[in-house]
Structure 1
């Protein structure tokens, strides 16, 4: 039988890639582009909406070109799946299709003041029960509130009734299916996994909730995308132009949900940890949402058309690979990201250094907004090797804190931790992780499980797969298992030192320290004027 192929567009926080998989989950062609990040003020993190689209189109073109050069036909690609950075917020005008401000990326903390304001608002105590998320700078809701309060163009579009809001998945699908141009079947949709990260979706009904919309003041004048299943052969339409014109978009999942699918965590009690720009540990809780009492998020794991939604508990850690990027780009301690592991391996421990990488505050399970990055334990003995190791250890300590919270909420302790993402490529990082959590860490040979998950979901939507049983052998060859190699006594000593550092880092930021005064040119978002051919 002719081989079937599925494309996966993975629009991450710092780079975009397009990967073409066969029906056995093997990659045949890939093209990746790293795109620019913008930090106009301390705590602000923006991206150009046009660049997000340009990178997507360029990656599709590049991968398909390689695919065809290897002797395959474009017609062999039956569908495309999309996975994306979550919570990042885009606003645009329905009449022109043009963005009204730069995309505000998920780690952005400009809304810290709004968090405190809304926490004191009547009804705040009910939010987690309704949407599964606590008030923080992380979800999309307060990013939209900030835009409505501060950007003149957004305010005017709201008055005209032309203001469109979406996360990155919505912006991608909207543009890939025509961008609102006459004669195109443009889709304005989002899937349940992404919608569950906005704070606008009722986590039980999976529909927009009137109370939530009223609470955040967005019930009038803001056009929200239709919420559809993560895997659906009709909802996302077809690609309108380019080398894949006419190919259906058959799935869309937030990146961490896609990784859950890519790790084939289809049974209750299965989980994974993705080491990307941030770290995200998801744990399958089945067909009913579980509400955490220990600082975790309740989210949609995945939702395939014709099946019940699957929920997950999530521990979101804001800074993972971003800390390595900080060592490379800001401090210039390393020239390439891979060097952090090489440096860390030169010392037996961090020499007493603890790096609390709270660049965007601390997320799960701590949820400390009033802190920033802090390094403890620096002495004359400290070297860049110690700092490199402390940077890796910070991700591993936070993973342990999330695992402990999940065990309390679920009553079940993971026996092994499945891992993927960029930092999982480092053997020393994964060995340190195993040492700190005290269980086996299992790494697949192919680690782009986020893209693989989008492809698997699209395959289900168009009938390439009909059951999870068919995926048992996907991406299982060449697994590596890392086993704990330190004593329990040493493990607890190290972790207690981390916890002590966390307990001391809160309370650093105060309202009078806020630097939110912005010039008029910043208000209108000069970056969105950048045009791409």
Structure 2
């Protein structure tokens, strides 16, 4: 955690905290966006039942305070030198709390949680959904409004927090009672942290709001969806401008810019400009950020188990140091026919199957640890390719540049294979924790610490650019022939893993 301790009290900094799925990180940034101090702590996930994934709010708060104090101390600075605080949190992790005391009624229910899978399936097959689709298709035909088109195509998934909130209201009596008394708040980690930091300021940013289904992309809560699910609008907070932190940290300000964050899960976002994207394959139309009168939309696809798969392999002692995995994958020419399906939390876009299982197929007596590691890393790149193809097909927006971040992006094997499969250059920054930097950029712009986005672009630093191998000088790129049958086998393994937990 080496930093420069200079003791100049007149120098000011931006403090940024990223609350991830497995860790909380805090960075102190100077004017040149250098990290002057940092601190991190582990987040312990709780698994009370099969498919349930939770976090202890008290532990989360203690971890937040610890990293903030630790990073400022590591920078050799004082709190009065901190000009602004930026907070970036994981998507779709929710809780409810007492409006008077701020005490949560239960643990945080994370974005990986599958407890509402049966409820999601029931709603998607319901007569109500069929009726909504039919009515909205008719309205779209008559009005040509994108809002009607989006409603006519909507398919629910477990990543929408809607059904977890319905589950909460059904299973926790104290929450139901607090709602009746007008004393219940609902929110994500960032809104809860802000409530505690400000002693009662109850607000939400539009990015996590998108995941509720109750938030209209025109920046207001949807009375229609609240009525549909019998949820009181009183539990929802006021909405203020926010941002998609890693996208902002990568300076993906132009239409067609793509950012891929690979941490616990993979999140691939494309800047769609001033118009929200309507998807049939599971991409999310999101508010990226709102600064002044400018409102920027993104389309996002995700895969839940990226870093999760690597951590699982480490716990099985397939390797000791994660830095070894790239060399292990390169040490063998292929995976020996082994296919890994990374779906501990189901499969997201474009397959959208919460009942899929994680699996290893094609094991042989000749299979070694290196073959297993290669199969796991290949699966991450293959899922990237699925999301990329879906994004190209659905948005029809020419992709201008691709930037990656997150802990898994430090793996050269995954990055090179991703570039090969995309047929595009993939750029990795020097510092992979872009969520922290993005939150710092927005906070700094808000206070005048930085003044323009052009200034932010000049602060970008690149570690390595991965160029597709074998890229023809003129004409379209196709993945190497050796990977065509590998991908076909992997897709077959995907199909065998689907609906595994839905079987009697």
TM-score norm. by structure 2 comes to: 0.89
* Correspondent of 1:108 among 113, 131, 136: 113
**Is the counterpart of residue 218 in structure 1 residue 234 in structure 2?**
no
Aligned residues: 472
Cα RMSD (Å) of the superposition?
A: 2.1
Shift in Å, 1:208: 0.5
Q: Cα 1:85–1:342, aligned 2, differ >3 Å: closer, same or farther? A: same
Shift in Å, 1:130: 4.7
Shift in Å, 1:449: 0.9
> Which has the higher mean CA deviation after the structures are superposed, 407-416 or 58-67?
407-416
Give runs of aligned pairs for residues 33-432 of structure 1, distance below 5 A.
33-68=41-76, 72-119=77-124, 120-123=126-129, 125=133, 129-130=150-151, 134-178=155-199, 186-203=200-217, 205-219=218-232, 223-230=235-242, 253=243, 257-304=244-291, 306-329=292-315, 331-414=316-399, 416-432=401-417
2:257–2:400 Cα contact (<8 Å) kept = no
Partner of 2:469: 485
SS in 1 for 2:492: helix
For residues 306-364 of structure 1, give each alpha carbon's deviation from its aligned partner in whole angstroms, at most 9, with x where no partner exists.
Answer: 132110111111111011111123x3323343343343232222111111111111001
- C-alpha separation between the residues in 1 aligned to 2:252 and 2:152? 23
Shift in Å, 1:175: 1.1
For residues 210-238 of structure 1, give each alpha carbon's deviation from its aligned partner in whole angstroms, at most 9, with x where no partner exists.
Answer: 11111222126x511111001xxxxxxxx
Q: Cα 1:265–1:452, aligned 2, differ >3 Å: closer, same or farther? A: same
With a CA cutoff of 8 Å and minimum separation of 6, indicate the structure with the bigger relative contact order.
1
Shift in Å, 1:74: 3.1
SS in 2 for 1:303: strand
> Which has the higher mean CA deviation after the structures are superposed, 137-146 or 342-351?
342-351
Structure 1 unaligned residues grouped into runs of 5+: 179-185, 231-252, 513-533
1:343–1:389 Cα contact (<8 Å) kept = yes
Shift in Å, 1:415: 5.7
Shift in Å, 1:406: 1.2
For residues 41-81 of structure 1, give each alpha carbon's deviation from its aligned partner in whole angstroms, at most 9, with x where no partner exists.
Answer: 1111010011111111111011111222xxx4433321011
TM-score norm. by structure 1 comes to: 0.84
SS in 2 for 1:169: helix
Shift in Å, 1:26: 1.2
Q: Cα 1:144–1:287, aligned 2, differ >3 Å: closer, same or farther? A: same
